[in-house]
Structure 1
Amino acid sequence: MIIPFIIIALISLMIHVMEPVKEIVLDRLNGKITYPKTFIDKEHRTIEFDSLHVYRTLTTSGDFAITGKKIFIKDRKFNYTWTLKSNECLEYWSFMVWYMDKNRPLPLGTAFNEYRLQDFERRKAEGFSKPLFPGTFHTPERTPSQHRQRKEIGGW
């Protein structure tokens, strides 16, 4: 009686061990995103960020009560969809869009602090082009003087 449960547990353990690492690699300067490989695929797929199709859904329980939100990202080229699984999926997607827009400053937070000056100088040399992706969120520069320079040179 216990043998089927042991077999199921061993198969589940094998699948868990063999399952590939799920990581998304964002290439800001080239505008590409590399998304996780599936169980069957042998390699990650890399596509243009602006070719993704993104949509949001609400999740419900058995009695149709709203239990949360999910964001689905679809790669139309390979007909593959993956889900952003996070309690703050909209904030996560906003962060991805902000980061992938190479004409905007790097997102807020300490992770990018050592790269902010280099990124500012790169954007300044390019003339502070308008953002690639429209958005309603405010993207301030690190310092007020940098913000003034952006307004003077780029006009935004």
Structure 2
Amino acid sequence: MAPVKEIVLDRLNGKITYPKTFIDKEHRTIDFDSLHVYRTLTTSGDFAITGEKIYIKDRKYNYTWTLETNECLEYWSLYVWYMEKNRPLPPDTAFDEYREKDFERRKTEGFPKPLYPSNIPTPEATKEQQAVRRKIGGW
């Protein structure tokens, strides 16, 4: 009875589409940059920490949805890494067939600096590509 709910991440346009609610008749699409994200810990009746949730708030429509899994921080990190169109695609086999085309797109754009700051190194798929990025983009 419950419909499938999917979050659609549009890397090139910086948009995210999230599932419709009971009130809305359609999915909502907003800028990824406009989201506000909150991390909370869940507790039991005796205040023992039992897990964590990520709340994602869309201020434009005053709507909040929850990313609730045992690995919510890992999921959110993947979303942010994927949405960072100036960095290489995240390290997963699901993206392997798109890596070369994505590299060429970023090369054509001159390897612009990343949109979101990060302390996590994001090297290219190969050492040769990494050298090209350093030479052209300087980072």
TM-score (norm 2): 0.98
Q: Secondary structure at the match of 1:141?
A: coil
Per-residue CA shift, 1:86-115, capped at 9, x if unaligned? Answer: 111111101000000100000001001111
Q: Secondary structure at the match of 2:115?
A: coil
Q: Secondary structure at the match of 1:148?
A: helix
Per-residue CA shift, 1:119-145, capped at 9, x if unaligned? Answer: 000000000001111111111110000
CA contact (8 A) 1:20 1:39 kept: no
1:139 to 115, 122, 136: 122
Q: Which consecutive unaligned segments of at least 5 residues does structure 1 have?
A: 1-16
**Which structure is higher in RCO with an 8 Å CA cutoff and minimum separation 6?**
2
Distance 2:84 2:106 in 1: 11
Moved over 3 A (4+): none
Indicate the residue corresponding to 2:76 in structure 1: 93
Q: Secondary structure at the match of 1:72?
A: strand
RMSD over aligned Cα, in angstroms? 0.7
CA contact (8 A) 1:20 1:37 kept: no
Letter of the structure 2 residue corresponding to residue 37 of structure 1: K
Indicate the residue corresponding to 1:33 in structure 2: 16
Q: Secondary structure at the match of 2:93?
A: coil
Distance 1:83 1:57 in 2: 10
Q: Which consecutive unaligned segments of at least 5 residues does structure 2 have?
A: none
TM-score (norm 1): 0.87
Total equivalences in the alignment? 139
Over the matched positions of the two proteins, sequence identity in percent amounts to 78
Higher helix share: 1
